[in-house]
């Protein structure tokens, strides 16, 4: 005769599992299956115990890194000792509420990830009005030298007609269409320069989309396939050294109409989670000695630029703090 299940067995709910487990097994199951279900029930109870612990595990936060010396350094004796490499370790240590991971990407892939829904941040971004529509930005994090033009000494005569007071009129240079400028695809060079690049004749630009983009462009310049290279002077100096190019082979010129320095920001996905992360990042940055970041960056500059940069950076962040 089949045993009738008890009323209590039918009414058992998840919240009553621990209290009624023994009675459920005793009265609701055939004798020869009680051992098996007792083991399963023990596993379920263990799972319920672990749920609060799992809930406390932080949300995943992916940090993007690009080969962008001296901010990020992927290879060589200074690997992981770039200016933002060091800052990133401080940010991760100061945000234990997240499960952090670091992903190396090129510029195009990094921007794509920042458009997706997963919580992702990049600690070395330029701000622009266009980006501000779809990236949540922090307060300014560090100051950097503005982009300029690198030319091989043997090609510098192509710039001579466009140099005034030591600066290059990039708008006139590009409009002429007689030189080729190497740039990294989808990189933000600052609003002023980006506007000039958008107006340039297509034949005046050589874009590189892949990894080690700047190193590849330097080699193209060395082979005479492009005349000029646009970028940050410290980055170009570092990459030229890696490529075996003597720094004396290159000459650098600032671009007319740009400021001498620009700010770097942290940017996260523009979602509720990303905006909350930026709030927490700003709180950390408020207590971060900016002089340390400035000193780390200045160490990568040529000696004649260091003292002026450090003074300008100090004044900028004092003004930001309202001093």
DSSP-assigned beta bridge partners for residue 101: 62
For residues 56 and 322, what is the distance between their CA atoms, to the nearest angstrom?
A: 38
- 140 Cβ partners below 8 Å, 6+ apart? 263, 264, 265, 316, 317, 320
How does strand 120-125 pair with strand 261-269? antiparallel
At 135, which helix (H) or strand (E)? Answer: strand 135-137
Nearest to 61 by CA among 308, 311, 280, 306: 280
Structure tokens belonging to residue 113: 């990830």
3-state SS class at 124 = strand
Q: Dump pLDDT digits (tens) for 206-218.
A: 999 877 889 999 9
At 291, which helix (H) or strand (E)? Answer: helix 290-298
Tell me what pLDDT residue 312 has.
97
Q: Is the pLDDT of residue 294 over 90?
A: yes
3-state SS class at 18 = helix
Handedness of CA 242, 245, 249, 254 (dihedral sign): negative
3-state SS class at 118 = coil
Contact 12, 20 (CB under 8 A): yes
Q: Dump pLDDT digits (tens) for 43-91.
A: 444 443 443 333 345 899 999 999 899 999 998 899 999 999 999 999 9
Tell me what pLDDT residue 23 has.
46
Handedness of CA 170, 246, 237, 303 (dihedral sign): negative
pLDDT band for 242, please (50, 70, 90 cuts).
Answer: confident
The CATH fold of domain 60-144+263-320: D-Maltodextrin-Binding Protein; domain 2 (3.40.190)
pLDDT: is 13 or 196 the higher one? 196
Distance of CA 323 to CAs 286, 315, 319, 320, Å?
Answer: 14, 9, 6, 8
Predicted TM-score of the model (pTM):
0.78
> Span 147-254: which CATH code?
3.40.190.10
Tell me what pLDDT residue 254 has.
95
Report cis status (omega within 30 of 0) of the bond before 46.
no
Transcribe 26-72 into DSSP letters: HHHS-GGGHHHHHHHHHHHHHHHHHHHHHHHSPEEEEEEE-SBTTTB
| Residue pointed to by tokens 């700003």 | 282
What are the domain boundaries of the chain? 7-56, 60-144+263-320, 147-254
- On average, the pLDDT of the chain sits at 84
pLDDT band for 302, please (50, 70, 90 cuts).
Answer: confident
CB-facing half-sphere around the CA of 288: CA atoms within 13 A? 23
């Amino acid at each position: 005769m089949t045993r009738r299940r008890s009323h209590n067995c039918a009414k058992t709910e998840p919240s009553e599992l621990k209290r009624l487990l023994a009675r459920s097994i005793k009265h609701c199951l055939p004798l020869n299956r009680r051992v098996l279900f007792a083991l399963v029930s023990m596993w379920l109870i263990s799972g319920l115990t672990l749920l609060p612990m799992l809930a406390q595990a932080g949300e995943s936060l992916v940090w993007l890194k690009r080969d962008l010396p001296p901010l990020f350094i992927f290879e060589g004796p200074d690997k992981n000792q770039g200016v933002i490499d060091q800052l990133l370790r401080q940010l991760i240590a100061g945000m234990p509420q997240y499960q952090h991971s670091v992903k190396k990407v090129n510029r195009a892939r990094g921007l794509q990830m920042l458009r997706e829904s997963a919580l992702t941040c990049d600690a070395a971004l330029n701000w622009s009005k266009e980006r501000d529509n779809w990236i949540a930005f922090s307060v300014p994090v560090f100051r950097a030298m503005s982009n300029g033009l690198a030319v091989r000494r043997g090609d510098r005569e192509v710039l001579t007609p466009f140099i005034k007071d030591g600066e290059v009129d990039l708008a006139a240079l590009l409009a002429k269409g007689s030189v080729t400028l190497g740039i990294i695809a989808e990189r933000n060079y600052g609003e002023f320069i980006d506007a000039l690049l958008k107006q340039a004749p297509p034949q005046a630009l050589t874009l590189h989309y892949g990894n080690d983009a700047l190193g590849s462009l330097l080699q193209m310049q060395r082979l005479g396939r492009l005349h000029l290279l646009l970028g940050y002077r410290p980055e170009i100096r570092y990459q030229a050294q890696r490529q075996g190019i003597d720094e004396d082979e290159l000459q650098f010129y600032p671009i007319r109409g740009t400021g001498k320095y620009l700010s770097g920001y942290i940017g996260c996905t523009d979602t509720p989670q990303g905006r909350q992360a930026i709030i927490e990042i700003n709180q950390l940055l408020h207590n971060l000695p900016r002089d340390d970041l400035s000193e780390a960056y200045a160490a990568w500059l040529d000696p004649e630029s260091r003292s002026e940069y450090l003074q300008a950076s100090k004044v900028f962040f004092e003004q930001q703090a309202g001093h």
